A = this chain, B = another copy of it.
Amino acid sequence: MQLVKIYECLCDETRLRVLNILAQGPLCVCHFQEILREPQVKISKHLAYLRSRGLVECERQGNWMIYELPAKPSRELRTNLACLQDCAREHPAFQRDLARLQKLAPKLAATGPCGCATAKPAVR
């Protein structure tokens, strides 16, 4: 059942945090590292997990992998992501992540979702 696969994705805190952040827009792995403050392996693996089950999509952009929520999510996925948003609003942990994302906003505006310290603007 597709629904079970969705819930399997949702039953890990790191993945919930990832999805909460992605609700704001696409992002690259190094930014997840910065916001979540978790080691690269951990983030990369959880993103792979989410990807294998269709909860995120990704696209390479130079050295960076940009992850984002599916362009055409199923009704079930849409419903559950909305539900997660609803629940996340209350949680300090999620709020904190969004605050950190905000701090990156200027950088993101300048360089796009892969705007890491060393990154050149996507459009030269």
Q: 1/0 contact trace for A78-89 toward B, CB 8 Å? A: 011011001100
A91 close to B (CB within 8 Å): yes
* Chain B residues whose C-beta falls within 8 Å of the C-beta of A7 in the assembled complex: 7, 10-11, 16
* Chain B residues whose C-beta falls within 8 Å of the C-beta of A76 in the assembled complex: 87, 90
A3 & B87 in contact (Cβ 8 Å cutoff): yes
| A residues 62-93 touching B (CB-CB < 8 Å) | 75-76, 79-80, 82-83, 86-87, 90-91, 93
A38 close to B (CB within 8 Å): no
B79 & A1 in contact (Cβ 8 Å cutoff): no
Q: 1/0 contact trace for A32-43 toward B, CB 8 Å? A: 000000000000
Q: Which of A12, A76, A83 has the most CB of B within 10 A?
A: A83
A1 & B80 in contact (Cβ 8 Å cutoff): no
